[in-house]
Structure 1
Amino acid sequence: MNVAEAVGRALVAAGVGQVFGVVGSGNFHVTNAMAAAGARFVATRHEGGAATMADAYARVSGSVAALSVHQGCGLTNALTGIGEAAKSRTPLIVVAAEASQPRSNFAVDQTALAEALGAHSARVTAAADAVAQTRAAVRLAVQERRTVVLNLPLDVQTQDVPDAETALAAVAPPEPRAAVAPATDDIAALADVLARAERPVFIAGRGARGPGGREALELLAERRGALLATSAVARGLFVGNPWSLDVSGGFAAPLAAELIEGADAIVAWGCSLTMWTTRHGRLIGPDAALVQVDDEPDALGGQRPVHLGITGDVRLTADAVRTALGDETRTGYRTPATGDALATRLRWRDIPYEDESTRDRIDPRTLSIALDDLLPAERVIGVDSGNFMGHPTMYLSVPDEQGLCFTQAFQSIGLGLATTVGAALARPDRLPVAALGDGGALMSAVELDTVRRLGLPLVVVVYNDDAYGAEVHHFGPHGFPLSTVEFPPTDIAAVARGYGFEAVTVRAPADLKAVADWLAGPRTAPLLIDAKVVREHGSWWLEEAFRGH
């Protein structure tokens, strides 16, 4: 057995069950070995799409996934998706063939590329160590939540592995990352903060999405009268809780922002407190105590100074603090007036607005509300980046924390469609919905073919303003020329039909009847909605975004 086969089999034995990629000569044998060992391989039309599908699959499934790429150009094609995964600490293995000869036209410093993106670079260096090195790469990805680029030099791939079967028999999925117990002094300090707080708010992030996280936070919040919010990445964690504020940050509804600003104690649970989640700190009152709980010590205070940083698992920490506080229950922020306001004024769709639809274009708020009513509640949504993105993110409801896959750490357009494909494969029980701008849709249109080949009953909603709307609304008011970011109209519905989709152009709510008909039918082909949206105004979160540049 040669190294290529041994590495492929070792990856599957170590727990890799889903692989995405584009196969070339350098990764042909290792990819076939993974498939033969039982992994599902999805061939995409571009490595960038494959990278983001793998990222999304790992996020939604909670398992390590793999990306398989050719040496050199195959890896460089995937860099944006790998960068998004690395920034998001997604457990992902990038199986990258590597040129052995420096004069090869495929030769490039793949270690430097990986490290520049924040990924970990590993390499199979010898046949005798191939299985062990592969196993170590998966262990690092899982236990350290890292994206790992596993380089496979071409000359090593063909070498015979001594006693390969014995080495492979010893491979098993690594133990999950161990939960970090918080220090006793830290528990006492946080209990003291909450004992003194009159208006506490909890903000839960990605790190709170693990088993038992919601229950532990809700029990502690109930004990202390805390309101509950999430980062955008963790949206849906507190669905159904009457004291939920939904999302904190740039997407927050006015009432949510008002209540967070009024908090006298804010505790971030597995949340990095980025500029997006805190509106560059403006959501944190000047006298509010700010606490951050995270199982990564380096994350504490990494984005914003905190008064108290606690290294610990979210569930373990919340349970320990609740025990330390005893049985006393306080009203805190959970007053009748607050409850009434949350029941009537929290959701964006419940806030009155002037419908700006015209004869030719539909208001994105009107579109999003109508789609929210039409689409089944059991859905998984992927959202691309752009001026439009706040509308599907906040107007389309989600059933739980797995209902939104938010690949926005790099804030790149063009990732939304691939995100939704990966999420759809991880949750085949839900209707997948990809919300894209026209720029991102056309950038990633090649993966419409992947959707059709997979037979996914996927809905693509294109918020089409014939422009890079974020730039139009950021630079336009200052009188700058916009010809570089505006485009002639494109019939994206026709493009989708060419890939085998059913498609409809929407300019008014009545046009959505075709969507209802598709939902009621057999859904044998995916559906694309080319929604011509009004383009006169930037979205409410736009200037917030540009402050982060």
Structure 2
Amino acid sequence: MRVFEKVAETLIGLGVRQVFGVVGSGNYDVTKALIARGATYVAARHEGGAASMADAFGRVGSSVPVISLHQGCGLTNAITGIAEAAKSGTPMLILAAEVASSAIHSNFRIEQSHLVESVGAASFRISRETAARDVALAYRTAVTRRIPVLVNLPLDIQNSETTEEYAASVASGAAILTVAEPVTEDISHLADLIERSNRPVIIAGRGGRGAGPQLRDLAEVSGALLATSAVARGLFNDDPFYLDISGGFSTPLAARTIQDSDLIISFGSALNMWTMRHGELIGPDTTVVQVDVDALAPGKHRPVDFGVLGDAGLTAAAAARELRSRGFSRVGYRTEEIAQAIKSEGRWQDVPYEDLGDGERIDPRTLTIALDGMLDKERVVAVDSGNFLGYPSAFLDIPDENGLVFSQAFQCVGLGLASVIGAAYAQPDRLPVLGTGDGGALMAAAEMESVVRLGIPLVVIVYNDSAYGAEVHHFGEDDDAMGLITFPDTDFAAIARGYGFAAQTVRNLEDLEPVREWLDGSRDKPLLIDAKTVSFASWWLEEAFKGH
């Protein structure tokens, strides 16, 4: 067996089933070997697209994805998507060919390990004698540290023969991931803080996903309201005391309710500037508790009063047991008045606004609310970055915590189209929906061919204001240099049809009728909606720019 075959065998034994990439001479053999052993391979048009596809799959899928890349330029092309994954805590493996150690003058030679480590990923290099164990260690690192991990595959080693005997099954994904049990003293102190509070709020982040039942139970016994960061949106759907998103996307009701709380308990949320609005959602007398499996997380982004090292589900369950053992139970913040307020004004769709549409351009709120009522309820929504991003993120309902791919940690425009492809493979029974701006759609246009070739019946909503809207409203619409960030109108419907999409230009609600017809039809082509939108400053980016 050659080393590249051993690498593929090991990855399949570890549970890898999904591979994204762009094939070149250096990664051709290992990619074929993975496919031969049962992996599904998706060919992207750009390595950056492959990285974003894998990132999205890793967020809402059930296994660790792999990216397969050529040496040198293949990896540099993918680095922005890798940076987003690293900053978002997405476990995935990057298989990248590497020039042989003797090829010191190769044009493909770069310090690949240094490159990925500079954006927060980790790296390993295989050897002929220990290739399988090297890959297993890389996999373990990706899962336990929740980061992308590069596996360098030197060309001379890839094709050498190996006699290594290593059973990948001994390091399966389930066996690798250890669950952190909170210590008894921490649970006791957390219960004390809950007892002393009157208006507690539980905020769940990505680390709270999968712990919904335990967090709901703790909220019920403690009298707490529930909220999530944007990335965990949907975790508490249908709970009458769910405030939806905490942070820049908070509804007015959610913002003032969280501000009025006297105890905030975070489960797997970073409590960064986005989730806490630069601290504005924390009242002057509010106690803040942060629960995380990462010992360095509590206090990383802002001071906290108490940090708990522990798994979200185990910690919530233990705290609920402790409270019940004390005979503790109360209404707390879960009053009928709060429940009625959430029912009547807890969603952005219920918040009144002045429609700014003029017939030539549609208000993005009006557009998104209308689409929310038309699109399948079973959906997975991916969101690109830009002035528009709050509309698909907050105005489109999602079915659960695996329904939103929010790739905003690196705040990079152009990752959305590839992300929705990865999300479609992770959640194949749901309608994939992308919200993107005109800038992001143009940056990622090459992957439109991928969508058509792969036969993905997705919906792309282009919020087209003919500008980099975030910068327009940040620098001021009267700036002398506005020509740097405003552009002539682009006919995205024509571009999409050229790739093989169905497409519709939308300037008002009447223009959405063909969208309804597409949804009721065979969906044999993907659909792009070129929405000519009114441009105005979004409140969430006003918050975001405070951190720049």
Partner of 1:92: 92
Residue 142 of structure 2 corresponds to residue 141 of structure 1: yes
From the superposition, tell whether residues 171 and 23 of structure 1 become closer, same or farther in structure 2 (CA, over 3 Å): farther
User: What is the rounded CA distance, in whole Å, between the counterparts of 2:252 and 2:313 in structure 1?
Assistant: 30
Task: Kindly indicate whether the alpha-carbon contact (under 8 Å) linking 1:9 and 1:168 is maintained by their aligned counterparts in 2.
Answer: no
Aligned-partner Cα distance in 1 for 2:242–2:161: 58
| Paired position in structure 1 for 2:282 | 284
Other-structure match for 1:463: 463
Q: Report the Cα distance in structure 1 between the residues aligned to 2:43 and 2:169, rounded to whole angstroms.
A: 30
Task: Report the 3-state secondary structure (helix = DSSP H, G, I; strand = E; otherwise coil) of the residue aligned with 1:12.
Answer: helix
- Structure 1 residue 169 displacement after superposition: 6.8
When structure 1 is superposed on structure 2, of 421-430 and 169-178 the one drifting more is 169-178
Structure-to-structure mapping, 1:329-368, within 5 angstroms: 329-368=329-368
Deviation of 1:177 (Å) = 1.4
Q: Is the 8 A contact 2:132 2:168 kept in 1?
A: no
User: 2:112 corresponds to which residue?
Assistant: 110
Which is worse superposed, 276-285 or 137-146? 137-146
1:412 matched to which residue of 2? 412
TM-score normalized by the length of structure 2: 0.97
Distance apart, 1:388 and its partner CA: 0.2
Is 2:30 aligned against 1:30? yes
Deviates more, 1:128-137 or 1:234-243: 128-137
Q: For 1:235-254, what per-residue CA distance to the aligned partner results, in whole angstroms no more than 9, with x for missing partners?
A: 00011001000000000001
CA distance in 1, matches of 2:353, 2:408: 27
Any conservation in 2 of the 1:144–1:177 contact (CA below 8 Å)? no
Whole-angstrom distance in 1 between the partners of 2:131 and 2:479:
59
Aligned to 2:155: 154
Report the Cα distance in structure 2 between the residues aligned to 1:513 and 1:159, rounded to whole angstroms.
Answer: 60
Q: Is the 8 A contact 1:6 1:168 kept in 2?
A: no
CA distance in 1: counterparts of 2:212 and 2:170, whole angstroms: 33
For the structure 1 residues 486 and 160, does the alpha-carbon distance in structure 2 shift closer, same or farther, using more than 3 Å as the test?
same
Q: Is the CA contact (8 Å cut-off) linking 2:13 and 2:169 kept in structure 1? A: no
How many angstroms apart in 2 are the aligned matches of 1:158 and 1:220? 55
Provide TM-score, normalisation by structure 1: 0.97
Look up the match of 2:315.
Answer: 317
Shift of 1:542: 1.5
Q: Following TM superposition, by how much is the alpha carbon of 1:480 offset from its aligned partner in structure 2, in angstroms?
A: 4.4
After superposition, residues 82-481 of structure 1 pair within 5 angstroms as 82-100=82-100, 101-124=103-126, 126-162=127-163, 164=164, 166-167=165-166, 173-174=172-173, 175-210=175-210, 213-326=211-324, 327-477=327-477, 479-481=479-481
Q: CA deviation at 1:176?
A: 4.2
Q: Indicate the SS of the match to 1:202.
A: strand
Question: How far did 1:129 drift?
Answer: 1.0
2: CA distance, partners of 1:361 / 1:38? 48
| CA distance 1:239–1:291, change in 2 (3 Å) | same
1:509 match: 509
Provide the alpha-carbon RMSD of the alignment.
Answer: 1.2
Shift of 1:352: 1.2
In 2: Cα distance, 1:299 partner to 1:168 partner: 34
| Residue 477 to residue 531, structure 1, CA distance change in 2 (3 Å) | closer
What whole-Å deviation, never above 9, does each CA across 1:101-160 have from its counterpart, x for those lacking one?
A: 221001101011011011001001x21111111121112212332210000111111211
Q: Look up the SS of the partner of 1:453 in the other structure.
A: helix
Is the 2:323–2:329 Cα contact (8 Å) retained in structure 1? no
Structure 1's 478 and 189: CA in aligned 2 closer, same or farther, altered over 3 A? farther
Tell me which moved more, 291-300 or 6-15. 6-15
Task: Give distance in 1, aligned partners of 2:232 and 2:500.
Answer: 34
TM-superposed deviation, 1:170 = 5.7
Unpaired runs of 5+ residues, structure 2, are none
Distance 1:444 1:169 in 2: 37
Residue in structure 1 matched with residue 51 of structure 2 by the alignment = 51
CA contact (8 A) 2:292 2:298 kept: yes
Return the offset for 1:9: 2.1
For the residues of structure 1 that align with 2:61 and 2:480, how far apart are their CA atoms? Answer: 45
Q: What is the deviation of 1:477?
A: 4.7
Letter of the 1:350 partner, please give it: D
SS at 1:271's partner residue?
A: coil
CA distance in 2, matches of 1:91, 1:445: 26
Q: Structure 1 residue 336: deviation in Å? A: 2.1
CA distance in 1, matches of 2:167, 2:466: 53
Paired with 1:457 and 1:372, the residues of 2 have a C-alpha distance of 17
Q: Which residue of 2 aligns with 1:80?
A: 80
SS of 1:325's equivalent in the other structure is: helix
What CA distance in whole angstroms lies between the structure 1 residues aligned with 2:146 and 2:541?
31
The alpha-carbon deviation at position 338 of structure 1 amounts to: 1.4
CA contact (8 A) 1:10 1:171 kept: no
What SS does structure 2 have at the residue aligned with 1:297? coil
Q: Provide the secondary structure at the position in 1 that maps to 2:130.
A: helix
Q: What is the SS of the residue equivalent to 1:463? A: strand
Q: Is the 8 A contact 1:93 1:147 kept in 2?
A: yes
The 2-side partners of 1:207 and 1:482 are apart by 41
- How far apart in 1 are the matches of 2:480 and 2:392? 29
CA distance in 1: counterparts of 2:330 and 2:170, whole angstroms: 51
Select between 22-31 and 167-176 the one with higher mean Cα deviation.
167-176
AA paired with 1:113? Answer: L
Q: Distance in 2 between matches of 1:146 and 1:383?
A: 21
Name the aligned partner's letter for residue 194 of structure 2: L
CA contact (8 A) 1:15 1:172 kept: no
- How far, CA to CA, are the matches of 1:26 and 1:468 in structure 2? 37
Opposite residue 543 of structure 2, the aligned amino acid is: E
Query: Structure 1 counterpart of 2:136, which letter?
Result: R
Residue ranges of structure 1 left out of the alignment (5+ in a row)? none
- Look up the match of 1:39: 39
Contact 1:22-1:69 within 8 A present in 2 as well: yes
Structure 2 CA distance for partners of 1:39 and 1:205, relative to 1, 3 Å: same
2:166 aligned counterpart, secondary structure: helix
Task: Please give the residue correspondences for 1:508-547 in structure 2 after superposition, counting only pairs within 5 Å.
Answer: 508-535=508-535, 537-547=536-546
Q: Is the 8 A contact 1:249 1:257 kept in 2?
A: yes
How many angstroms apart in 2 are the aligned matches of 1:339 and 1:132?
54
Taking the aligned partners of 1:218 and 1:171, their CA distance within structure 2 comes to 35
Contact 2:136 2:168 in 1 (8 A): no
Give aligned-pair identity as a percent.
Answer: 56
